[in-house]
Amino acid sequence: MLNKLTSSLRINRRILLRFFTVLFFVGVITSCAPAPSRAPDIFYDLSVQPVQQSYGSTESLSISSVSAQGVMSGRSFVTQTSADPVAYLELRGHLWHIPPAQLLQSALVDGLSLGSADLVIGTSDTLSSPDYRLKLKLRQFSFTPNGEAVIALEGVIRAQQSDVLKTAVYSVRQPVEGDTAEAAVRAYQDAIQQIAQQLSADIASLF
């Protein structure tokens, strides 16, 4: 009886040893296996087509860096998930190639300067002592899939002596025809083009 019990214990020990050995090697193999590949991030840009305008002045206007705060200041695509309360969600894997504030400034400067027949339009880097300054603040830059894309900017135009000549809010909503980032980019593209046209008209009204 004792011999049988001893033999049974030896067999059980061997089984347990083999079991834990297999577990060990499975763990090693699993830890060495490559992690599932992650899809590469996709980067996007915005541009403004030249807004043809004769301002009636050969003076200069500088478009200052656009200010932005919170989630709007990052490079991620931002979707609005709720209106009450207002809630936002970052879309993974889709990024602007530079932060939206810089993106909008660059697009507006290019579109307005290339379309100007006379007024010199640039940035603080290209105009050391401009006659006028346009300062913009980004209030909203988000979209809803199959809904709309919104760009809202607050603008202040000052003379060289810091006198405020004009304040305005430039808010444009464009339908997003789809649930993809590409559909949102097309809507943003239309929205920033409209804002550029509004800005051009407001600047022209000063002269």
Low-confidence ranges of the chain (pLDDT < 50): 2-6, 9, 16, 26
Residues 87 and 132 occupy one common structural domain: yes
The whole domain housing 29 covers: 1-33
Which pLDDT value is given to residue 73? 92
d(CA 134, CA 113): 13
What's the token pair of residue 107?
């697009």
User: What would the pLDDT profile of 69-87 be if each residue is shown by its tens digit?
Assistant: 988 899 999 999 888 898 9
Long-range contacts of 163-166 (CB under 8 A, 24+ apart): 165/132, 165/206, 166/202, 166/205, 166/206
Number of other residues whose CB lies within 10 A of the CB of residue 11: 10
Which pLDDT value is given to residue 39? 79
On the CB side of 136, CA atoms within 13 Å amount to: 26
Which pLDDT value is given to residue 14? 62
66 domain residue, yes or no: yes
CA nearest neighbour of 103 among 48, 165, 61, 160: 48
The domain tally of the chain equals: 2
8 domain residue, yes or no: yes
The one-character DSSP state at 24 is: H
User: What would the pLDDT profile of 140-180 be if each residue is shown by its tens digit?
Assistant: 999 999 999 999 999 999 998 889 999 999 999 999 999 99
Per DSSP, the three-state class of 99 is coil
Q: What is the CATH number of the domain that holds 150?
A: 3.40.50.10610
The pTM assigned to this predicted structure is: 0.80
Residues in Cβ contact with 142 at an 8 Å cutoff, skipping those fewer than 6 apart? 72, 78, 79, 80, 88, 149, 150
Which pLDDT value is given to residue 17? 57
23 domain residue, yes or no: yes
Number of other residues whose CB lies within 10 A of the CB of residue 23: 10
d(CA 41, CA 77): 12
60 domain residue, yes or no: yes
CA nearest neighbour of 198 among 47, 51, 45: 51
- Specify the amino acid at residue 91: L
Contact 71, 88 (CB under 8 A): yes
What's the token pair of residue 159?
């003379």
38 domain residue, yes or no: no
Q: Is the dihedral of CA 84, 89, 91, 95 positive or negative?
A: positive
Residues 52 and 24 occupy one common structural domain: no
Which pLDDT value is given to residue 64? 94
